[in-house]
């Protein structure tokens, strides 16, 4: 469908995977018409015919105000707001593709989680590098599974932006009877939470897959939260952000529910699968795998001690046995809990 017949009040959602589709559905349900664009033209055309994303969100029908767009320029034509819902490794490339097409007055938000692997930059840093610092930007994050949002189950999340008016506008546009969006100005803290929790969820899956029990799982979550907070504060985030939806909330959800690809990836590794075969089993992007590399880059650069994250890097990239990692963590020197 061409964008010429669609109102400019629409939001353009770029990325037609499970999360981009779920967010487009939620905006449309809440009263904000949405244009959904994806790189796979055949997939977008199939969604337009079927009025659903049967590949990622089976049995969820699209609202009438969700429009499928095959051309990127049409998706962007005249819109006020653009939402990127792509994996972290595709974030920079899509921004560069947008640069000559994005209307000057358009505001930009994203649901991308993770540090850029090679540079260790957060999404907001990459966006400012490419688009400059004058445009209003925001990140959408929190404890959300796309399948549950798509089905309309009660959900809460955080929208963070230095521009409080923009965060509030997005929150109002996204909120409905079954969806509540909260606002924050701590974009760094919200992004750090979204990046680190994916790595820790792999560890939770490994732990449960090896039968280590509930005690081990909660120890990993709690001490992982300490590492997440430590890194976030070093990067300029506020400590209290990590006690909220985008910190503790997202961490607990991703570590404890098998909707999480990262957790399922860890479970597969614990059951003897190689990294390559475990990734193949999941069949979608496992953000925590690449994030473990990026997290190590950032922690080293900032001189932040993150023993759990470092141990998981060893399992994923240095063939360290999981049992050896657990023993190593248990044998660390005794110290105050909040040192």
Residue positions annotated with a catalytic role: 197
Tell me the C-alpha distance between 291 and 113, whole Å.
9
Q: Measure Cα distances from 332 to 152, 248, 308, 329 in Å.
A: 45, 24, 11, 5
Tell me the C-alpha distance between 75 and 176, whole Å.
24
- Residue 127 backbone phi and psi in degrees, to 5: -65, -45
Beta strands in the chain (DSSP E): 11-14, 34-37, 66-69, 81-84, 107-110, 137-141, 155-160, 179-184
How, if at all, do strands 155-160 and 137-141 pair? antiparallel
Tell me the C-alpha distance between 272 and 230, whole Å.
32
Which strand ranges, in their side-by-side order, compose the sheet holding 179-184? 66-69, 34-37, 11-14, 81-84, 107-110, 137-141, 155-160, 179-184
CB atoms within 10 A of CB 239: 13
Tell me the C-alpha distance between 78 and 191, whole Å.
28
CB atoms within 10 A of CB 163: 16
Tell me the C-alpha distance between 158 and 80, whole Å.
21
């Amino acid at each position: 469908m061409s964008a010429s017949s669609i109102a400019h009040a629409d939001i353009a959602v770029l990325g037609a995977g499970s999360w981009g589709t779920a967010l487009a559905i939620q905006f449309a349900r809440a009263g904000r018409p949405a244009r959904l664009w994806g790189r796979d033209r055949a997939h977008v055309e199939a969604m337009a015919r079927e009025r659903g994303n049967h590949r990622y969100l089976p049995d969820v029908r699209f609202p009438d105000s969700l429009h499928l767009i095959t051309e990127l320029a049409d998706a962007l034509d005249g819109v006020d707001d653009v939402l990127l819902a792509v994996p972290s490794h595709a974030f920079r490339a899509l921004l560069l593709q947008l640069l000559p097409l994005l209307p000057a007055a358009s505001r930009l938000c994203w649901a991308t989680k993770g540090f850029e692997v090679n540079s260790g930059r957060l999404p907001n840093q990459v966006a400012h590098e490419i688009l400059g610092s004058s445009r209003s930007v925001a990140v959408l994050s929190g404890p959300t599974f796309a399948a549950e949002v798509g089905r309309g189950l009660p959900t809460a999340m955080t929208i963070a932006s230095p521009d409080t008016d923009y965060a509030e506008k997005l929150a109002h546009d996204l909120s409905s009877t079954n969806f509540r969006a909260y606002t924050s100005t701590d974009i760094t803290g919200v992004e750090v939470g979204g990046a680190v929790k994916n790595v820790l969820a792999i560890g939770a899956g490994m732990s449960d897959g090896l039968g280590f029990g509930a005690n081990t799982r909660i120890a990993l979550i709690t001490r992982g939260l300490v590492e997440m907070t430590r890194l976030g504060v070093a990067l300029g985030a506020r400590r209290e952000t990590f006690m909220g939806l985008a910190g503790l909330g997202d961490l607990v959800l991703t570590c404890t529910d098998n909707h999480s690809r990262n957790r399922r990836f860890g479970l597969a590794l614990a059951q003897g699968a190689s990294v390559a075969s475990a990734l193949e089993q999941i069949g979608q992007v496992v953000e925590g795998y690449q994030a473990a590399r990026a997290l190590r880059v950032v922690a080293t650069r900032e001189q932040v001690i993150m023993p759990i994250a470092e141990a998981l890097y060893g399992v994923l990239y240095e063939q360290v046995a999981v049992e050896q990692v657990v023993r190593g963590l248990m044998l660390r020197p005794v110290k105050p809990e909040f040192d």
